[in-house]
Amino acid sequence: MRGVVFLAISFFTALVWGQGEIEYQNRTLKKALSKDGVSDFSHLSELKVADSLLQKHRIVGKFFEVTANAGKYKYIYTGRVNSCRAGGCSTSGETSDTGNGEYFDYFILFDEGKTVQIVKVFNYQATHGYEITARGWLKQFSGHDGSEPLQVNKNVDAISGATISVNAITEDVELKTDLLQRLKM
Amino acid sequence: MKKGFLFLIVAMVTVLAYGQTGEEKTNVYTNAADNMLSNNNKLVVGGYGEVHYNQPLDADVKNNGKMDVHRVVMLLGYNFSDKTKFITELEFEHVKEVYVEQAFLQYELSRSVNLRGGLMLVPMGVVNEYHEPTTFNGVERPLNDKYIAPTTWREIGFGVTGNFIPASLKYQVYIMNGFNGYDGSANLGGKNGLRKGRQKGAESYISSPNFTGKVEYYGFRGLNVGLSGYFGKTQSTLYDGTDESDDAGLALADSSVVGVSMIGLDARYTLQGFQLRGQFYYSGLSNTEEYNEFTASEDGALNDLGSAMTGYYVEAAYDVLRSSKTEKQLMPFVRYSFLNTHFDVEDNISKNPAYKKNIITTGLTLKLTPGAVVKADMQFIKAGDQDEFSKTFNAGIGVMF
């Protein structure tokens, strides 16, 4: 069992490696945190996620807790989303594949109550769907706390020509918020 | 040639289908596609298709309806590496006509600079780039995108495209061959505008380069605005073999050429279930007086290419299933379009009112899933020389995967 978990984690690490690693200490995050009074990454401590959860949800990213007593951001999730469904990719102007170049890295900043405050994409590599990086569009996720599901075309506006990325990030924000709320501190 | 093509497509699709269910197949063709697929999924396959029913409605005259597999398209992409990819779009139109609509190699220098070369879509307007049936309302593509910006408009060239993400800007700039304006006979005229001049990468010829580009801004939530341009002279076979010092010969060739300056402005806005769309084109054509004289028919009747063409439309749609739990979307829409290939003409011809069209299209788009739509609409067209709107009922299915 442990061997399987190890393999799973190695596979996903390799997947990430093949694409270039996630830059956890990226400039965009630094700027967002410093606006909140958190001066650098030393005030972040990584939260351990149970192996079973890592494997089950194929998590490519990490959760952090802000240990400084600064502003409103208390938790961070930084991770990667592969923007293609396994087994086939649609092409509404978006050609994607499972793991070669179609992905983006983003982070979510949560407050003390584990409610989404800010979502920002800091590394967009996919060929289409770049419209999801627009700050105005990402504001839709603010206030999400898991009490209501996030649904494209319902409470999340779709973007014509960017169906895959829109669905991918919406799904991921919902999942990671749920996971954070289930994490034991 | 066509049969071989069809066979190859069918073979690949069959192989892919079996490849995914994991069955053992011992025929020769399994190996080729299997190898491609097992190569870290570097091969990307997609496609789209539309089947249409068009029924003119007339109280006085009996009209047969038309049913057509308007297009079936396969999109193939291969990622040689993170930076190098090839994209091709293969199309079957009306079941029998085969076209290659895209075939280009892309190399990424950086996220904001990607080099592209090959057969590419001209970035004019929205529908030319995003022409899959699930991305627009109405069964047929908007008429502006038939007569003014002649979709599917694709030519061979090279250029640069990229995204400045912090600025929420996407740009494309290409240099390509132009429209085939004259190759022994005239291919441009008032009725179809520049449409019949498209070379489509099929043994195209180039007598002068044409430039095209587009800039898109998507910084405001739900809004995407684009500004496109296309500039250059149409091509002529008369330049071929003409001596550089042959002034008369060159002047003759020059009279078979028109200058094209086209701009397009488009906007798409989505807010809370409302989808608004607007498109505006303006084409300035120079030297049309000489062109129309040069390409006059044998009995002396001048050709009638306009010196300016214009077209625009505004469209609104709303998803009435937005507040219900279903994944399906049902969107009633209405679109008002105007186009005129004789917006302006030179003095030697007069404007033909038949080339001015007012079009109202209204109907429903039912999205069963994001990739499968059923559409129905009524289209009312009134040309400038008609008193009444002609009516056509359209219905169709569209898929994209």
CB contacts, 8 Å: A167 with chain B: 370
Write the pLDDT tens digit of every residue in B336-354.
999 999 999 999 999 999 9
| A90 touches B at CB < 8 Å | yes
**Mean pLDDT, chain A, whole residue set:** 80
Quick check: B174 pLDDT over 80? yes
| B270 touches A at CB < 8 Å | yes
Burial of A175 (0-12, 13-18, 19+ CB in 10 A): middle
CATH among 3.40.50.150, 1.10.1060.10, 2.40.50.100, 2.40.160.10 for B39-400? 2.40.160.10
Quick check: A95 pLDDT over 80? no
Quick check: A42 pLDDT over 80? yes
Predicted confidence band at B3 (pLDDT cuts at 50, 70, 90)?
low
pLDDT in the model for residue B335: 98
CB contacts, 8 Å: A168 with chain B: none
Q: How far is CA B187 from the centre of its chain?
A: 18
Of B347, B350, B356, which Cα lies nearest the Cα of B148? B356
pLDDT in the model for residue A88: 37
Among the residue ranges B19-28, B55-64, B148-157, B331-340, the one predicted with the least confidence is: B19-28
Distance, in Å, from the CA atom of B202 to the CA atom of B199, rounded to the nearest integer, reads 6
Contact by Cβ (8 Å): A146, A131: no
CB contacts, 8 Å: B224 with chain A: 131, 159-161
Write the pLDDT tens digit of every residue in A12-25.
554 444 467 888 98
Write the pLDDT tens digit of every residue in B38-87.
445 678 888 899 999 999 999 999 999 999 999 999 989 888 988 899 99
Predicted confidence band at A10 (pLDDT cuts at 50, 70, 90)?
low
Q: How large is the average pLDDT for residues A65-85?
A: 84
Among the residue ranges A100-114, A138-152, B81-95, B252-266, the one predicted with the least confidence is: A100-114
Distance, in Å, from the CA atom of A150 to the CA atom of B296, rounded to the nearest integer, reads 63
Distance, in Å, from the CA atom of B177 to the CA atom of A53, rounded to the nearest integer, reads 55
CB contacts, 8 Å: A126 with chain B: none
Task: Name which of A89, A139, A161 is nearest B221 (Cβ-Cβ).
Answer: A139
| A3 touches B at CB < 8 Å | no
| Contact yes or no for A93 and B87 at CB 8 A | no
Where are the domains positioned within chain B? 1-38, 39-400
Predicted confidence band at A84 (pLDDT cuts at 50, 70, 90)?
low
| B329 touches A at CB < 8 Å | yes
How close is the nearest chain B Cα to the Cα of A60, in Å? 18
Among the residue ranges A38-52, A96-110, B250-264, B295-309, the one predicted with the least confidence is: A96-110
Quick check: B140 pLDDT over 90? yes
* Residue, of B119 and B131, whose pLDDT is higher: B119
B228: left (phi over 0), alpha (psi -120 to 50) or beta: beta
Burial of B364 (0-12, 13-18, 19+ CB in 10 A): middle
Q: How large is the average pLDDT for residues B134-143?
A: 93
Q: Residue B280: which residues within 8 A CB-CB, separation 6 or more?
A: B264, B265, B266, B310, B311, B312
Contact by Cβ (8 Å): B277, B267: yes
| Contact yes or no for A163 and B270 at CB 8 A | no
pLDDT in the model for residue B38: 46
Helices (H), B137-217: 144-147
Quick check: B370 pLDDT over 50? yes
Of B195, B226, B225, B232, which Cα lies nearest the Cα of B211? B232
Q: How large is the average pLDDT for residues B204-208?
A: 96
Among the residue ranges B10-19, B20-29, B94-103, B384-393, the one predicted with the least confidence is: B20-29
pLDDT in the model for residue B40: 52
User: Interface pTM (ipTM) of the complex?
Assistant: 0.71
Task: Name which of B41, B268, B273 is nearest A100 (Cβ-Cβ).
Answer: B41
| B211 touches A at CB < 8 Å | no
Q: Residue B388: which residues within 8 A CB-CB, separation 6 or more?
A: B382
Interface probe with B: pick from A84, A154, A166, most Cβ of B within 10 Å:
A154
pLDDT in the model for residue A77: 95
How close is the nearest chain B Cα to the Cα of A185, in Å? 35
Quick check: A105 pLDDT over 60? yes
Quick check: B264 pLDDT over 90? yes
A&B contacts, CB < 8 Å:
111
pLDDT in the model for residue B91: 95
| Contact yes or no for B75 and A91 at CB 8 A | yes
| A32 touches B at CB < 8 Å | no
* Residue, of B13 and A73, whose pLDDT is higher: A73
- Exposed e or buried b per residue across B118-146, where buried means at least 16 C-beta atoms within 10 angstroms of its C-beta: bbbbbbbbbbbbbbbbbbbbbbbbbbbbb
Write the pLDDT tens digit of every residue in B218-248.
988 889 999 999 999 999 999 999 999 999 9
Query: Chain A neighbours among B 42-101 (CB < 8 Å)?
Result: 42-48, 75, 77, 79, 82, 85, 87
